[in-house]
Structure 1
Amino acid sequence: MTDMQQTFRLNDDTAIPAVGFGTYLVSNDDAPDAVSSAISNGYRHIDTATAYQNEEAVGAGIRAGLQATGLARDAIFVTAKLWPGNPAWGDTPKSHDQTIAECNASLAKLGLDYTDLYLIHAPYGGPERIAQWRALLELKQMGKARSIGVSNFNQGHLDEIKLAGLPMPDANQIELHPWSQKPELISYMTENGIAPIAYSSLVPLSTWRTQEGQDSAKTDAMKAGGSVFTQMAAKYGVSEAQLLLRWGVQNGYAVLPKSLNPDRMRQNIDLAGFQIDDADIASIKTMDRGEGVAWASGDPSAAA
């Protein structure tokens, strides 16, 4: 089995491809060709969100990719995300009914009848968090989402769902890479049947979000600390990106690399030809630096 075909189980009816194509910071001009190219290059999972403001362009790319490959809709796994609102930004949290409407609006923009995974993008809903989660449970019952989950939720946010007596999320999409391994959260998710989906897998790369206008939070010290992955990748005859992505998949996490370069696109999904050995896995385990750089689950605006 290759990584292109490898999947991780989300629920009885749904499995997520191990390697997906992320569309964060992919412009509306680039998204149609990028998504279509990704599908042509073997990607079977496309990840987008209302907050990315590119759903229509991503939908166009999905249609073009399906047409180019002759694949049916059910061959592609699509993740979409609710923007829950954030009162800290003057953005009123979405109610139950608004959550249903937001999902319908995303499906219309994407040109889809259902999404394979619908997530609450962040725990910014405060008092509306449970109402939003109840709405996602209804969307699943209605067939609008085959699986449902959350993103950027910490253990406290997940416990809130459990204490409400509601079914737990199928997945939690969080920042995961050797510098942010979140062992306690991962352990809790495993105990509660919540699949981890990793974003920002490539943070340790020296080239991660270095272009103007991209929101890298990496310090100079972080940028200087990545040479170990260059050396480790050379040992396996792969790129740094392949090594970091393989680490995620080997740990059981679906990963979401993004590239507009077709060669790197193909490289990022070509992870089946090597296995990180036990000694290197143990070495990487010692590299954890805590929360990460893309999003802080301790953000006070998420806790209210």
Structure 2
Amino acid sequence: MTPLQSRFALGDIHIPAVGFGTYLIADNDAAGVVADAISVGYRHIDTAAGYHNEAGVGGGIADGIARAGLSRDDLFVTTKLWPGNAAWGDPPKGYDETRAAFEASRTALGLDVIDLYLIHAPSGVEKRVEQWQALCDLKAEGVVRAIGVSNYTEAHIEEIRAAGLPLPEANQIELHPWSQKPDLVAFLRAEGILPIAYSSLVPLSTWRAEPGQSSAKTEEMKADSQSAESPFKTMAVRYGVSEAQLLLRWGVQSGYPVLPKSTNVDRMKQNLDLFSFEITRQDMDMMAAMDRGDGVAWATGDPRDIG
């Protein structure tokens, strides 16, 4: 088996294999947490307008860069357009609104250039192509280095192709042993679109166990993940690693950048340590047989829906 990659190709640039996710980190906590993450070695920070913490993340990026003696070029930063959702009384953004949202994100983060800008979800069939055109123009203008989407299906991406526009360079989707999306992943790879994994730790026995972090879909999988007979617990013990390390290693070994989140510095360090062990072919095959379908995050279906 080839050595585990520390970076993956993303168009003409590269993205670190292990990034730091900031979903559910409050804006007033984000600066300290992100600065700590950079200090312990994270070189990719992932946020989104929809997380409502870009200002805090931006402060943490500035502090972390200064604290670690880095330059801006040493860090890879991803943020996402919130495209709107008419079902929530939030009209989908058109071309001008998309550009304005990007400028708001860039200002909040305190950055001149965003390394990767994504459309957070496929919302509003009548506006999606306008949103993507805006991202293409932002990249052409040099204020974004790479562009992509999140939670898009093959049908959503074919909509971009039909409009005669360049295809995304990345699609950030839920990926873990219980939600492997083999058909979508095969399509993305065939088109040169990098799958980026979020919610890698869904099968973890303590995933989103804190108050306010759960959801109806989370509960559907909680009983199995907390079972004493969890195969992930058994495997982790055998490799001498944590369950989180095992699941993250599965993602990177499968060819996906991953985005673990923790506010605990020791766990941050542990989640970065994915290069000291390798999952055997036998165990990878066993995990491949655990797929349960769509997962717990965004539902993906008709391209007219939010996705």
Report the TM-score when normalising by structure 1.
0.96
Per the TM alignment, residue 88 of structure 1 is displaced from its structure 2 partner at its CA by: 1.1
Asked if the contact 1:88/1:301 (under 8 Å) is kept, the reply is no
Asked if the contact 2:124/2:304 (under 8 Å) is kept, the reply is no
Partner of 1:179: 178
Relative to structure 2, which stretch is displaced further, 173-182 or 206-215? 206-215
Gaps of 5+ in 2: none
Per the TM alignment, residue 206 of structure 1 is displaced from its structure 2 partner at its CA by: 1.2
Asked if the contact 2:156/2:303 (under 8 Å) is kept, the reply is no
Secondary structure of the 1:168 match is coil
1:131 aligns with 2:130: yes
Alignment RMSD (CA, Å): 1.7
Partner of 1:298: 301
Per-residue Cα deviation, 1:18-68 (whole angstroms, up to 9, x for no partner): 000000000122111110000001000000000000000000000000000
Asked if the contact 2:122/2:303 (under 8 Å) is kept, the reply is no
Partner of 1:271: 274
Per-residue Cα deviation, 1:221-273 (whole angstroms, up to 9, x for no partner): 54325611000111111000000000000011000000000000000011000
Secondary structure of the 1:254 match is coil
Q: Which amino acid aligns with 1:10?
A: L
Instruction: Name the CA distance, whole Å, in 2 between partners of 1:293 and 1:235.
Output: 28
Per the TM alignment, residue 2 of structure 1 is displaced from its structure 2 partner at its CA by: 9.2
Partner of 1:284: 287
Partner of 2:35: 36
Given the superposition, is the C-alpha separation of residues 254 and 221 from structure 1 closer, same or farther in structure 2, using an over 3 Å criterion?
closer
Partner of 2:191: 192
Note the 1:240-279 alignment, pairs <5 A. Answer: 240-279=243-282
1:15 aligns with 2:14: yes
Instruction: Name the CA distance, whole Å, in 2 between partners of 1:297 and 1:45.
Output: 27
Per the TM alignment, residue 300 of structure 1 is displaced from its structure 2 partner at its CA by: 8.0
Asked if the contact 1:40/1:69 (under 8 Å) is kept, the reply is yes
Given the superposition, is the C-alpha separation of residues 301 and 212 from structure 1 closer, same or farther in structure 2, using an over 3 Å criterion?
farther
Instruction: Name the CA distance, whole Å, in 2 between partners of 1:262 and 1:36.
Output: 11
Per the TM alignment, residue 156 of structure 1 is displaced from its structure 2 partner at its CA by: 0.6
Asked if the contact 1:122/1:302 (under 8 Å) is kept, the reply is no
Gaps of 5+ in 1: none
Given the superposition, is the C-alpha separation of residues 56 and 299 from structure 1 closer, same or farther in structure 2, using an over 3 Å criterion?
farther
Secondary structure of the 1:279 match is helix
Report the TM-score when normalising by structure 2.
0.95
Per the TM alignment, residue 219 of structure 1 is displaced from its structure 2 partner at its CA by: 3.0
Instruction: Name the CA distance, whole Å, in 1 between partners of 2:103 and 2:221.
Output: 44
Asked if the contact 1:31/1:57 (under 8 Å) is kept, the reply is yes
Asked if the contact 2:198/2:258 (under 8 Å) is kept, the reply is yes
Relative to structure 2, which stretch is displaced further, 157-166 or 256-265? 157-166
Asked if the contact 1:177/1:200 (under 8 Å) is kept, the reply is yes
Partner of 2:117: 118
Q: Which amino acid aligns with 2:85?
A: N
Percent of aligned positions with the same letter in both sequences?
A: 59
Secondary structure of the 1:302 match is coil
Asked if the contact 1:233/1:243 (under 8 Å) is kept, the reply is yes
Per the TM alignment, residue 90 of structure 1 is displaced from its structure 2 partner at its CA by: 1.3
Note the 1:69-148 alignment, pairs <5 A. Answer: 69-148=68-147
Secondary structure of the 1:15 match is strand
Partner of 1:159: 158
Relative to structure 2, which stretch is displaced further, 286-295 or 213-222? 213-222
Partner of 1:52: 51
Asked if the contact 1:149/1:172 (under 8 Å) is kept, the reply is yes
Asked if the contact 2:203/2:221 (under 8 Å) is kept, the reply is no
Note the 1:202-213 alignment, pairs <5 A. Answer: 202-213=201-212
1:236 aligns with 2:239: yes
Secondary structure of the 2:126 match is helix
